[in-house]
Amino acid sequence: MEEHARTNKIRRLELSVDANNAPALTLYRKMGFDKEGIKRDHCF
């Protein structure tokens, strides 16, 4: 994923995950994602 981003000059990726999904949050943190905010009262 990082190589693809560099090759295609992608500077930002955004993803959404349920705040209660601890395994996903841990995985994304290990992959280098940072938490920027929390959407309150939001449904998909």
pLDDT at 6: 87
> 3-state SS string over the chain?
CHHHHHHCCCCCCCCCCCCCCHHHHHHHHHCCCCCCCCCCCCCC
Residue segments in the chain with a per-residue pLDDT below the cut of 70: 43-44
pTM over 0.75: no
pLDDT at 30: 94
Contacts of 38 (CB under 8 A, 6+ apart): 19
pLDDT at 14: 85
Q: Which of 3, 1, 35 shows the shortest CA–CA distance to 18?
A: 35
- Residue 24 near residue 18, CB atoms below 8 Å: yes
